[in-house]
Structure 1
Amino acid sequence: MASIFQRMFKVGQSQAHSAMDKFEDPIKMTEQGIRD
C-alpha cells in the first residue's frame, strides 16, 4: 500500500519539477535579454 503512495508522490514530484522548469525558462530568457 505504501509503495503505491510513494510512486504517486514521485510522479507528482517529477511533474512539479517539469512544470517549474517550464516556468523558469522564460524568466531566465527575459533576464538574459535585459542584461544584453
Structure 2
Amino acid sequence: MNETDTFSNLLVVFVVAICVAAVIAYGKVLFG
C-alpha cells in the first residue's frame, strides 16, 4: 500500500464531496 496513492484517493474523495456539496447548495439557491 503506497502512501501517495492513499493520499491521492482521499484527495479525490474530498474534491468530489466539495463538488457535491456545491451542487446541492446551488440547487437550494435556485429552487429554494
After TM superposition, the runs of 4+ consecutive aligned structure 1 residues lying more than 3 A away are: none
Q: Partner of 1:26 in structure 2? A: 28
Structure 1: which 5+ runs fail to align?
Answer: 31-36
* Distance of 2:28 and 2:7 partners within structure 1: 33
- Relative to the length of structure 1, the TM-score reads 0.69
Structure 2: which 5+ runs fail to align?
Answer: none
- Residues 1-36 of structure 1 deviation map (CA, whole Å, 9 limit, x = unaligned): 100000000000000000000001122336xxxxxx
**Cα RMSD after superposing both structures:** 1.2
The 5 A counterparts of 1:1-36 are 1-29=3-31
* Percent identity (aligned): 10
**Secondary structure of 1:9's partner?**
helix
